[in-house]
Amino acid sequence: MTRVLGISGSLRRDSHNTSLLRAAAEAAGPDVELELYDGLKQVPPYDEDDDVHPRPPAVARLNAAIEEADAVVFSTPEYNSSIPGQLKNAIDWISRPLATNALRNKPVAVVGASTGGFGAVWAQAELRKVLAVLGARVLDVELPVPHAHTRFDEGDLTDEEIRAALTEVLETLADEVREREEAKAVA
């Protein structure tokens, strides 16, 4: 069983990106379990003065959730052509110290939804760049969900193409996890 952590970059209750991850959890194959992270809003602003042991509880909890997961899928909206501040802030916490951070070598995928016509492609590209700098094993896939308000009915995904694409993203993540485990077994 591959355990995937889903982190939505949008905090609002009826977020399309959170709905997208819920749809992904339902679309996951029998060997993949996707759990949604619900504590992003509690992560405090990054301040090196606070980056001491023990770390702020909301940071420690997020870090542990990432460490325990085999893989992570991020779903990001696009704020002013880029990554939402709170998501970037959380990643900045997780990134330290860089050489041993919890996302290092972790298979990760980025998807994204926006109400505009491009489906958060810029935010997804920037997020992939940031995750690669952390040393994550970033999947070379993009899953843009444009006009997100037309693709959900009370939070339920109504677009079958996107549902199939979500299943594929999770399967690719599971493949990466298996390859990683096989490489470790050989080493």
Partner 1 sequence: MSTQILTIAPAGTWSLDPVHSSVGFEVPYLAGTFKGEFHEIGAGLTVEDERASLEGSAKVASVDVKDENLAAHLQSPDFFDAERYPELRFSADEIALDGDRNVSVDGELTIKGVTKPVTVTGTVTAPIADAWGNDRIGLNLTATVDRTDFGVSWNNPLPSGEPSLANDVTILADLQFVKAG
Query: Residues for the chain: how many in total?
Result: 187
Which window, 19-27, 63-71, 112-120, 132-140, contacts partner 1 (CB under 8 A)?
132-140
Of 39, 56, 135, 146, the one binding partner 1 by CB under 8 A: 135
| DSSP-derived 3-state class of residue 32 | strand
One of 60, 133, 156, 158 touching partner 1 (CB under 8 A): 133
Strand-pair category, 156-157 with 152-153: antiparallel
Nearer of residues 83 and 145 to partner 1, judged by Cβ: 83
Cβ neighbors of 110 (< 8 A, separation 6 or more) are 73, 74, 75, 76, 124, 127, 128, 131, 138, 139, 141, 142, 143
185 binds partner 1 (CB under 8 A): no
Q: Tell the smallest beta-carbon distance from residue 7 to partner 1 (Å).
A: 19
Piece in contact with partner 1 (CB under 8 A), picked from 12-20, 45-53, 75-83, 135-143: 135-143
CB nearer partner 1, residue 164 or residue 183 = 183
DSSP string, 96-119: SSGGG-TTTT-EEEEEEE-SSSS-
Helix-strand-coil percent breakdown of the chain, rounded to 5? Answer: 45, 20, 35
Whose Cβ is closer to partner 1: residue 52's or residue 99's?
A: 99
Q: Is 52 near partner 1 (CB under 8 A)?
A: no
Q: Give the gyration radius of the chain's Cα atoms.
A: 16
Separation of alpha carbons 90 and 105, rounded Å: 18
Question: Smallest gap, in angstroms, from Cβ of residue 145 to partner 1?
Answer: 26
**104, 147, 163, 178: residue in contact with partner 1 (rule CB under 8 A):** 104
Least distance (Å) between residue 182 CB and partner 1: 10
Q: Which of 30, 99, 153, 160 binds partner 1 (CB under 8 A)?
A: 99
E-strand ranges in the chain read: 2-8, 32-36, 71-75, 107-113, 137-138, 143-145, 152-153, 156-157
Residue 134 engages partner 1 in binding (rule: CB under 8 A): yes
Question: Which residues of this protein are in contact with partner 1, per CB under 8 A?
Answer: 98-99, 104-105, 132-138, 179-180, 183-184, 187
